[in-house]
Structure 1
Amino acid sequence: MTHPHRRRPLLALAAAFALSPLAAAAQGSAHYPERPITFIVPFAAASATDQLARALGQSITEQTKQAVVVDNKAGASGMLAAQAAAKAPADGYTVLITTNTTQAANEHLYKKLPYDPVKDFLPVTGLGKGGQVLVARANAPYKTVADVVAAAKAKPGKLSFGSGSSSSRVAGEMFKQLSHTDILHVPYKSNPNAVTDLLGGQIDLMITDTATGMPQIRSGKLRALGYSTQKRSPLLPDVPTLDEAGVKGYDMGYWFAAYVPAGTPQPVVARLRELLLNATRGAAAKAFFDTAGAEAWTTTPQELAQFQAAEAQKWGRVIKAAGIDPE
């Protein structure tokens, strides 16, 4: 039997916990979400990230009967969205659905970020991974990756590649480094703009995300030469990886992940992660992954934090080696 005097401190402790923010958070998470959730997306409507966010949102609504609002804050290489998410209340009702652009590449591409990709956020889970494809016009003289490398070595600085995202730009720079070639970079506002100029003959090559490149590859206007990750794309099973095609060590995909503002209560993060894991397996997300040539990829918060740190180093190395000065 507990001594009555000893019981008092335990009761006092229990009473204190009942009033503590931690208890309130634990209680709040039991009913989370009780109102609509906002997904902040750093890119325009119809972008791959936006399509995935809408698919996940649809599934979360089915699971919880709460609406999910997708808020597209495009521009400034994703910085506007990341800054808005970082400043949002840490209650689980604002979620950043983002990519390597805001969480791994920007810190090396810009001298001053209006957010800290590590300190301002709590990782929730990875969501998906995709690859990019090296494309040329169907009537171009290059039938293989080896043809491109030979042409670039024969005329240094004469061939050009376009890019409309940090993933596309850094993928092109990595190709130059690992193939020991000099190819001129031409920047665009987005990958679809670069594809238009590629089709028009203003540029020679580009490495674009499969979601943007596939329609033109399927229609026969663009030729797919090599895939950017170490595993072939299920959408392009006959196209070798760049590594297989002779650009040894090449591996540059892109990824999607979910983050919440730092300070969000742990039980809320755990519940949100559970909802997102279910959503990545849902019909809407599966349809997106299949058409975009991407695949579902989920993690624990800790795994995502470690993965993000490794990716930031990798992107930093490539950007530095490419001689890209931070803006």
Structure 2
Amino acid sequence: MMDRRSLLGATLLGTLARPALAQPGARPVTLVVPFSPGGPTDLIARRLAVSLGEGLGQTVVVENRAGAGGNIGAEFVARSAPDGHTILFGTSGPLAINRMLYPGQPYDPVKDFTPVAPLGRIPNVLAVNAGVPAKNVQELIALAKRERLSFGSSGNGASSHLAGALFNSMAGTSIEHIPYRGTGPALNDLVAGHVAMVFTDALTALPHLQGGRVRALGITTAERSAVLPDLPTVAEQGLPGYDASVFFGLVLAANTPDPVRERLRSTFATVVAQPEMRKFLESQGMQVAPELTPAALTSLMVTETNRWARVIREASVKAD
């Protein structure tokens, strides 16, 4: 028989092993999207929320907290109670890049979050106006060294801006950056020929590509995209190592207990492994991460921070 001390210890351990997140019927879980409704991040989050809720036995509610490149939503989660009821569906910006773009950022992505797992990456596509004579990346580089070209982006400091800055750095070109207030206006000016090229997510570009108004020259991830499987990567076309994609991952507030994090991580991994979920994610251009672990997300956050710091510094990139 257990003595009173052993019994008390066993009781406390049992309490810790049954965190609030794991209790069916407990209060709803909030999945914070640090961007406005309607974009690809929001769309994926809402699909994940339904399946996560089913797996956890709780309601998972998506809450959009947009602003400052994702920093407002991220700070909200960083300052939330570390009980697993508030989750950030973060991207490269708030989880890595923003700390170099926003002086005085009010949270530290590494110290103020408990990483759960990465989801994967969505690539950008390098697309040019149909009138641009270049048919591949090498021809585009040669053209840019002969003529003055410009590329549009969804705004200063956006992934589409950084993709162009990295391209200039690796290709030795000086293609002028033209920032817009969103992807739509940038694509409109690409179609009209006011800018020669853009870097944008494949799904957004697809209708324009199918209509023949713009032409895709390359995918910006290390591997080809399932959305455009026949399109070679930029890296394949003479810029080895070029990778300008957006990564996604789940984090909780710092000091969230390990049992709470593991419950969420395990459920998340099960959800992502479902065939229907995989098919949906791939239809959104998502390249699912090979390892859905806290260590994999931490490594990704640190690597991306270090990789983009040099590009931001050399190109003097400033956020809007």
- 1:312 to 2:305 alignment: yes
What amino acid is the match of 2:309?
G
When the two chains are superposed, the root-mean-square deviation of aligned CA atoms in Å is: 2.2
Distance 1:326 1:202 in 2: 23
1:230 aligns with 2:249: no
Residues 111 and 250 from structure 1, CA distance in 2 versus in 1: closer, same or farther, beyond 3 angstroms? same
TM-score scaled by length of structure 2: 0.91
In structure 1, what is the equivalent of residue 102 of structure 2?
Answer: 110
The percentage of aligned residue pairs carrying the same residue is: 38
Q: Aligned partners of 1:161 and 1:232: how far apart in 2?
A: 22
Cα distance change on mapping 1:284 and 1:114 into 2, 3 Å: farther
- Structure 2: runs of 5 or more not aligned: none
State the AA in 1 paired with 2:150: S
TM-score by length of 1: 0.89
Q: Which amino acid aligns with 1:162?
A: G
Whether 1:93 and 2:85 are equivalent positions in the alignment is: yes
Query: Which portions of structure 1, spanning 4 or more consecutive aligned residues, are displaced by more than 4 angstroms?
Result: none
Counterpart of 2:152 (choices 151, 162, 167) is 162
CA separation in 2, counterparts of 1:33 and 1:185? Answer: 51
- Equivalent positions of 1:294-305 (< 5 A) are 294-297=286-289, 298-305=291-298
Other-structure match for 2:17: 26
- Cα separation, 1, equivalents of 2:151 and 2:48: 34
* Alignment pair present for 1:175 and 2:167: yes
Give CA deviations for 1:154-190 in whole Å, capped at 9, x if unaligned. Answer: 13xx311111262211111010011100011111232
Larger Rg: 1
1:283 Cα deviation after fit: 5.3
Q: What displacement does 1:326 show?
A: 6.9
Measure the CA separation in 1 of the matches of 2:228 and 2:60. Answer: 33
Query: C-alpha separation between the residues in 1 aligned to 2:96 and 2:85?
Result: 24
Amino acid paired to 1:161: F
Q: Which residue does 2:34 correspond to in 1?
A: 42
User: Matched residues in 2 for 1:153 and 1:160: separation?
Assistant: 12
Return closer, same or farther for 1:118/1:52 CA change in 2, 3 Å cut-off.
Answer: same
Provide the residue aligned with 1:184 in structure 2.
176
Distance 1:326 1:223 in 2: 28
Q: Give SS of 2:216's match.
A: strand
Give 1:63 shift: 2.5
CA gap 1:248/1:53 in 2 versus in 1, 3 angstroms: same
Contact 1:111–1:326 (8 Å) recurs in 2: no
